[in-house]
Chain A
Amino acid sequence: MPRATFRIWRGDARGGELRDHETEVSEGMVVLDALHQIQAESAPDLALRWNCKAGKCGSCSTEIDGRPRLACMTRLSDLDLARPVTVEPIRAFPPIKDLVTDVSWNYAVKRRIKPFKPRAPDAPDGTWRMAQSDVDRVQEFRKCIECFLCQDVCHVLRDHHKHEEFIGPRFLIYAAALEMHPLDVEDREPDLKEEHGIGYCNITKCCTKVCPEGITITDNGIIPLKERVADRYYDPLRRLLALFRRPK
């Protein structure tokens, strides 16, 4: 069996280094398999997250040869094994240990977004009526597996560290799914502008490129949200009308 070297970031919040681990590779293996083998053979305390192993839970987000990927969906046959494969934690979040990072910020952000608020039911039995064509668009956003790879590549978070002012592509998509939900009557536009920092996104589309679910994050989600906010706050005609409506 051929062997390959994996150059894995080992360390914690205080710092760390890339360390080489060798293991046998066989047909069909993905990076997550190699990491598990290394755990069982030579590094039992190698920290990593995983669950479903089928690209459905979004736990095993890492940076493989510099690219944000799910370790469970990255086949070794697609990598150059002649040189060491680097495996690093996602860099937009603080390291905890090895490949595990502190993603708790994401959970806190989600709580700040106003929850789903449905209109009154359509039928006397308390149910609603919606056509498939009305739910298609939101179903695309609801495919999100919360792997946070889009947050990882977003330069507003990764390079400019605007975590206080900007919620990132994942939560813009979450907000879009709520705003465009056929039943939802909540108004999140003021928050998107003032609290969630939608203006920071300058549509470089890096998030869309790394999405393992193929969600068209920018074109279908963020841009329409930006348009709604722009219409409301920057449309000259609306601003003029608002001027006249101002209470005396």
Chain B
Amino acid sequence: MARWTTFEHDVLVIGAGGAGLRAAIEAASKGVSVGLVCKSLLGKAHTVMAEGGVAAALANVDDRDNWRVHFADTMRGGQYLNNPDMAEHHAREAPDRVRELEAWGALFDRTPDRRILQRNFGGHKYPRLAHVGDRTGLEMIRTLQDHGIHKGIDVHMECTVVELLKDGERVSGALGYEREQGRLQLFKARAVVLATGGIGRAYRITSNSWEYTGDGQALAYDAGAELMDMEFVQFHPTGMVWPPSVRGILVTEGVRGEGGVLKNAQGKRFMFADIPEAYRKQTADNEDEGWRYTQGDRDARRPPELLTRDHVARCIVREIREGRGSPHGGVFLDIAWIKERLPGAAEHIQRKLPSMYHQFKELAGLDITKEPMEVGPTTHYVMGGVRVDAASQMSTVPGLFAAGECAAGLHGANRLGGNSLSDLLVFGCRAGAYAAAFAREHGAAAIDERAAEVAATRCLAPLERGEPAGGAAEAPYAIQHELQRVMQDQVGIVRTEAEMREALEAIDRLRERAGRVLVPGNRQYNPGWHTALDLHNLLTVSEAVTRSALERRESRGAHFREDCPAKSEEFARFNHVIAKGADGAMAVRREPLVPLSDEHQRIIAEMG
């Protein structure tokens, strides 16, 4: 009997969040056969968690907005390490991608003149985020899902890909397993799109679910593709810290937008004490002005709580480290205080922040209209990922594409809120179209049966390898927890060379231990086995983050080095690219930035 069941598609899309679904829909619309692999059930991917909105210069609320402003905002937010061509495609195409969702049934909140409403968000010059209350991601994924199921796409639910297969240089398919019975599945494909999302599970405190183990990044790396910008991991400043079980769950930036303030244990609004020079002119220097800004006063400057995510996260860490934190190791985020300024504040908070009110009430037994929340930074997003061509989203491996969070380039050193949902629409669509074109232009590729056999054996090893000869068998959960501790403590928000060198050694030791993992039970829906297989990807991306962060001897965007706290001109000129060396070891190299076109330079000079 064959070791696997074989499926054949022109285009195989791995990952079924926003980017994967959008890619699958686009490829199917070009008339090729499409397979869509979801790690979970369809419609459960992390896109569902997005709250704030999708950034697109529709100019429905402020007619001064256009793609050039959105482009300039994105580049500034990314500290100019972004691929400018991607930033241009993104800013130009996002409005059409959002309008298209409306044509597919999405119901965004409305303006008084009955168009799509847009809201303000950090780093966006004008109100730009189309949204549905604080559940925009759910609306988007459901719209894509409900549209996609009528497009003839073959959906493989609860299936995980463990290895990409190649025909010479070109990608030709993938090997995976389905969870339900644990059967192996071989996918033959002419083109493959990776849309697997982030790497949050490499950290102990994260807003990401179990799925985000860096699968796409690791699959691409193992297949010979390049990764880029892996040192840039976004730590969202406000995640829940108490009770322990909810640690890391996101508390939306909207709380601060509505007037919420950050305070330390001494009751002091510490954000006023550290306003970066570059932002001093546009930041309020007193509490009253900050409050007026949140209430829509156009003459007031924004409160320091609404500085960029990277800066706010670092200030919170400083307060905690210096002993001024809250009882459970965070700081206080207080929205209840607005009752001093606003009649009917409790109802106002419940109306503006319904899901935050619900989340704290249900999970922490805390009424945010009466008491301050405890919050701290949480691992949220990775700006880095598979290095792709700006137009086609193809990686350096022919036929292998990547889109959404698992691809690099759009966000540079720091992502603006709202740009991830537009990213996955714009580049999901592009990846799907170009993958379909690639599949049409290239004949069927051959599957290397020997490579598939090797992958199958590796996949089944945690169940079948038996007690290791030297040293005891290892449990997968213990290794995952230890890796999360190492990354959290040593390659987290504040980094030093010494700690990162220790982390690299720890990762090596954990990789050796992962080779001795043994899990009880059989292949049927066995989470121990699944966790064991995720370890390889987690270790690969953890090493990539650490090596890139070690090489970047400066602080920029989301990457902060305590031993090199300043920004450096030298490091402003290149991205870090990672590839597997000839000896099999991971190598980091400097790749000069994609040059700005004349028009890009004009836009940045005008608005940067």
Cβ-neighbour of B149 out of A29, A102, A111 (below 8 A): A111
Residue among A44, A107, A111, A144 making CB contact with B475, cutoff 8 Å: A44
Q: Which residues of B contact A7 (CB under 8 A)?
A: none
Q: Given contacts A97-B525, A181-B105, A181-B107, are A39 and B149 in contact (CB under 8 A)?
A: no
Partner of A44, one of B49, B138, B363, B528: B528
Q: Chain B 324-349 against A: per-residue CB contact (8 Å), 1 yes, 0 no?
A: 00000000000000000000000000
**A139 near B132: Cβ-Cβ < 8 Å:** yes
Most buried by A among B43, B45, B155, B245: B245
On whether the beta carbons of B48 and A40 are closer than 8 Å, the reply is no
CA distance A97 to B526 in the complex (A): 9
B49 adjacent to A118 (CB under 8 Å) = no
**Contact at A30–B477, with CB atoms within 8 Å?**
no
| Chain B residues touching A, range | 35 or more
Q: Nearest residue in B to A123 (C-beta to C-beta)?
A: B115
Given contacts A39-B527, A97-B524, contact A57 B245 (CB under 8 A): no
CB-CB under 8 A from A39, the residues of chain B are 477, 527-528
Query: Quick one: closest A residue to B40, CB to CB?
Result: A51
Q: Are B519 and A44 in contact (CB under 8 A)?
A: yes
Of all chain B residues, which has the CB nearest A47?
Answer: B525
Kindly identify which residue among A29, A47, A51 contacts B210, using a CB–CB cutoff of 8 Å: A51
Known: A26-B244, A51-B211, A139-B132. A45 touches B147 (CB 8 A): no
A204: Cβ under 8 A from any B Cβ:
no
On chain B, the residues within 8 Å of A54 by CB distance are: 49, 246, 249-250, 359, 363
Please pick, from A33, A56, A111, A118, the residue contacting B245 in the complex, using a CB distance under 8 A. A33
- Say yes or no for B506: interface residue by CB 8 A criterion: no
Nearest-neighbor residue (CB-CB) of B100 within chain A: A126
From residue 301 to 332 of chain B, which have CB atoms closer than 8 A to chain A?
A: none
Taking a contact as CB atoms under 8 Å apart, the answer to whether A98 and B525 are in contact is yes
- B1-58: which have CB < 8 Å to A? 40-46, 48-49
Q: Are B114 and A130 in contact (CB under 8 A)?
A: yes
Q: Which of A27, A32, A45, A57 contacts B44 (CB 8 A)?
A: A57
Tell me the number of A-to-B contacts counted with CB atoms below 8 Å: 168
Contact status B135-A28, CB under 8 Å: no
Measured between alpha carbons, how far is A26 from B246 in the docked complex, in Å?
Answer: 12
- Chain B residues lying within 8 Å of A102, measured Cβ to Cβ, are 180
Tell me the bound Cα distance from A130 to B520 in angstroms.
Answer: 56
Q: At the interface, yes or no: B242 with Cβ under 8 Å from chain A?
A: yes
Contact status B521-A142, CB under 8 Å: no
Q: Which residue of A lies closest to B111 (CB)?
A: A132
Give the Cβ gap from A134 to chain B, nearest Cβ, in Å.
8
Check B107 against A51 for contact (C-beta < 8 Å): no
A240 at the interface (CB under 8 A from B): no
Complex: A39 Cα to B480 Cα, angstroms: 13
A21-61: which residues lie under 8 A (CB-CB) from chain B? 26-30, 32-33, 39-40, 44-59
Q: Is the interface of A mostly helix, strand, loop or mixed?
A: loop
Interface positions, chain B 342-369, Cβ under 8 Å from A, are 358-359, 362-365
Q: Is the CB of A57 within 8 A of B109?
A: no
B142 interface residue per 8 A CB criterion = yes
| Cβ A128 vs Cβ B209 within 8 A | no
Residues on the B chain within 8 Å of A19, using CB: none
B interface, CB within 8 angstroms of A: 40-46, 48-49, 99, 102-105, 107, 109-110, 113-115, 117, 132-133, 135, 138-139, 142, 146-147, 149-150, 155, 157, 180, 209-211, 242-246, 249-250, 358-359, 362-365, 475-478, 481, 519-522, 524-529, 531
Can you identify 8 A-B contacts, CB atoms within 8 angstroms? A26-B244, A28-B246, A50-B210, A52-B46, A52-B48, A54-B249, A135-B110, A142-B132
Q: 3 closest A-B pairs (Cβ-Cβ)?
A: A28-B243, A45-B521, A44-B528
